[in-house]
Chains A and B, each alone.
Chain A
């Protein structure tokens, strides 16, 4: 997928068709739109609302409720830093700060070149391996601050 694909009505239309415009599939439709664009473009929320015949208010509520959805464009790589208790006591905050310094973004933000988005989670259930950083779903355990830079650089 190209990084900055412009939202087009056609792609959302085929997603809507795939779910037969069933309003009960709102969350699945939004997941697919998000997978397509990496975020939920405003225009496509209106299109989903029309296509499923669900009020825009409800689409917007769902889109802003789940953490997995983003209304802002996100980077090609999603970094998740675990700040759960176990990771926290093993220095997760230092790891987060190192990533903030390296990329010049805060949690929830995206780098200007749309390469990385950083987010935080509270425990991913792998506490024994903490502190944990997950990039694009791949887990890196026992993180140290000096391992942050090489890890980030291994993505393009």
Chain B
């Protein structure tokens, strides 16, 4: 255990945890977009920035990446943080001016308008979907490709992925709702920002409802070593 101060408050935290985790433990709010406790932090959105004092100098760091240390002094709400965070929010708002989640967060942070050139994107390239697909689902169907202004989230070659199981975890976890996900009849559609895929859904043997992608069920059966008929019925019709 180490002891640090956050906004003047003494806080205990496990060694190796990040400032963000320590702050959340103590109910201190720090805004985030690309953080999720289930996956490796990535430091993409920079909204979580805080000030730490080191050798008498204060510097801005991403709290989702910066590890706690004994005696560390952290500020989460200085003037400097507020103005930098507003700038970051303005940039995000310029990229995604029509995105509800970004608009809401901007408003919450007191950003009404942006002075940067407007684009019309939904994806902020935080790679949360990429990390969840790889680390939680265990699949790695998508990644961030290209560089600079051409950076995008996509499958390899922008082609339908061989390994994607259509689980929709990427859509579920996306902080801006940039990934579309819909079941219509016997088909599931996943719309990533730059390409899309379709999946055949399995029909429940009892009620006849289409309830989950074939590929996802096969994947679970294989991973968990279940019997091939384990998912013949949907959860509602299973005894």
Contact = CB atoms under 8 A, between A and B. Distances in A.
A57 B141 contact: yes
Contacts of B142: 57
A65 B157 contact: no
B157 A55 contact: no
Contact of A55 (B140, B145, B146): B140
A57 B147 contact: no
Contacts of A66: 147
A58 B143 contact: yes
B143 A61 contact: yes
A64 B140 contact: no
B134 A55 contact: yes
Contact of B143 (A42, A45, A60, A67): A60
Contacts of A67: 147
Interface residues of B, number: 15
B134 A60 contact: no
Given A58-B143, A60-B145, A42 B157 contact: yes
B233 interface: no
Main secondary structure of the interface of A (DSSP, over half): helix
B156 interface: yes
B30 interface: no
A58 B162 CA distance: 14
Nearest to A55: B140
Interface in B133-153: 134, 140-147
Contacts of B155: 57
Given A45-B156, A57-B140, A57-B156, A64 B145 contact: yes
Interface in A48-92: 55-61, 64-67
Given A61-B145, A65-B147, 11 more contacts: A45-B156, A56-B140, A57-B142, A57-B156, A58-B140, A58-B143, A60-B156, A61-B143, A64-B147, A65-B145, A65-B146
Interface of B: 130, 134, 140-147, 155-157, 162-163
8 contacts: A55-B134, A57-B130, A57-B156, A60-B143, A60-B156, A64-B145, A64-B146, A67-B147
